[in-house]
Amino acid sequence: MITRRRMLRILLTRSLRLRVGRTFIALLALVIAATLLTTMLALYAQLQSRLEHEFRSYGANIVVTSAQRSFLPADATTRTQQLLGDRALVLPSAMLIATSDVGQPVAIVGTDLRSARRVNSWWSVTNWPDAADRGAALVGTRALPLFKDGALTVTYAGRKLTIHPVGTLETGGPEETRIYLPLEQVQQWAATPQQPVTANILEISYTGSEEQVESAVAALNAAFGGAAEVHPVRKIVEAEASVIRKTRRLMFASAALIIITVVLCVLSTLTTSVLERRRDFALMKALGASQRAVNAIFSSEAALLGVLAGAIGFPAGCAVSAAIGRADFHSAFVPSLIMLPVVLLLTAAIALLAAELSLAQLRRLQPASILKGE
């Protein structure tokens, strides 16, 4: 005796086997949907962190300066790094106004050149100085005329230092008027017993959302009290948040548009299938099958196609998201396997939605009229 489950399986396999063309069209449309869903989920899951990482190449998004316009506490860099953890890259700088040998003011910046190279990777630099080479400087293009015969002697607090340019810096901003030296060298040259030289500016490249940046600023303000002024670089923070929001909206709009197109394609295919099989369904109902049983057969076909399409589309979506990641972010976006059941369920839901809309046509058909050929 044939059980109901076995009969359903026979009807499903026979239907898919005898209608290969329409089945393939519906399957292809659902595979496209599954590929898109996998790609969108992978990009959405990793988009914010990757964009935040990319924005860090545009410089610091938090700046700490001395409230007294002098120097920050000696442990300011260490305290900041400990407070913000691995999310932050802290660049300490000590800016001094020295005097050239002809009496011109010269902006000297002592900084950690290695960290400066990471925080300000957007700088156009011809060559980075070696921190061990005393007097080797990175010179802004507008400060370069100060050098005569390849050297410049500057004086600060009565102490002289001879500087020679090793590389030039071009940014289109005030950095071009400055001369950059290793922080340790500036401290050894400019410090006096009465006035030790520490950083008076901390540039912080902090990886996080707009809310996390604001939280970090509040934490730093609380930690330094009135000894420092902490503020986010609004243009960078707001631009970053705006780009992430707009990119997400574009992803949702694109996904919604393609999914609607897929639903319409599957709906058209399944509706045609319903009309072609109306005599079969009418005969089943005339023999005593309920509308619920007919719906179950048709919905099972659609769900089976959806699950199969999800299984095919998931690896395709993984490949597409990885390719997009390598092309745009130089790192592959690899979806987690946790996304696989989500993609299978969503693709099956799309197929079932199209099936339900198609079955609305079937419910309006009268078995007697169909069997009479009307």
Side-chain half-sphere CA neighbours of 198 within 13 A? 16
The per-residue pLDDT for 32 is: 86
Confidence band, pLDDT 50/70/90 cuts, at residue 2: very low
Please tell me whether residues 113 and 165 are part of one structural domain: yes
Name the domain boundary from 232, 256, 273.
232
Please tell me whether residues 183 and 329 are part of one structural domain: no
Name the domain boundary from 185, 205, 232.
232
Number of domains in the chain: 2
The per-residue pLDDT for 108 is: 93
The per-residue pLDDT for 248 is: 77
Percent share of the chain, pLDDT over 70: 77
Render 195-240 in DSSP notation, one character per residue.
S----SEEEEEE-S-HHHHHHHHHHHHHHHTTSEEEEE-HHHHHHH
The per-residue pLDDT for 364 is: 62
Dihedral of CA atoms 367, 369, 372, 373 in degrees, nearest 10, equals -110
Name the domain boundary from 232, 257, 278.
232
Q: In what helix (H) or strand (E) does residue 327 lie, and over which residues does it extend?
A: helix 291-329
Q: pLDDT tens across 268-316, in order?
A: 777 776 666 666 666 665 555 566 666 677 777 788 888 888 899 999 8
Average pLDDT over residues 150-177: 91
Please tell me whether residues 301 and 220 are part of one structural domain: no
Please tell me whether residues 250 and 323 are part of one structural domain: yes
Please tell me whether residues 26 and 72 are part of one structural domain: no
CA distance 21 to 35: 21
Residues forming a β-bridge with 107:
97, 178
**Chain centroid offset of residue 291 CA:** 49
Report the predicted TM-score, pTM, of the whole model to 2 decimal places.
Answer: 0.62
Q: Look up residue 157 and give its amino acid.
A: A
Average pLDDT over residues 252-258: 79
Please tell me whether residues 246 and 323 are part of one structural domain: yes
Of residues 87 and 284, the one with the higher pLDDT is: 87
Average pLDDT over residues 232-256: 74
Average pLDDT over residues 156-168: 91
Contacts of 295 (CB under 8 A, 6+ apart): 359
CA distance 12 to 10: 5
In sign, the C-alpha dihedral spanning 48, 54, 55, 56 is: positive
Please tell me whether residues 72 and 207 are part of one structural domain: yes
Mean per-residue pLDDT of the chain:
80
Please tell me whether residues 169 and 149 are part of one structural domain: yes
Q: Which residue has the tokens 């002809």?
A: 102
Average pLDDT over residues 166-185: 92
Please tell me whether residues 265 and 135 are part of one structural domain: no
Please tell me whether residues 153 and 170 are part of one structural domain: yes
Please tell me whether residues 48 and 102 are part of one structural domain: no
Please tell me whether residues 95 and 150 are part of one structural domain: yes
Q: In what helix (H) or strand (E) does residue 8 lie, and over which residues does it extend?
A: helix 4-18
CB 343 within 8 A of CB 37: yes
Q: pLDDT tens across 47-81, in order?
A: 766 666 666 667 788 899 887 767 888 888 899 99
Domain that holds residue 39: 4-54+241-371
Q: pLDDT tens across 115-129, in order?
A: 898 888 888 999 998
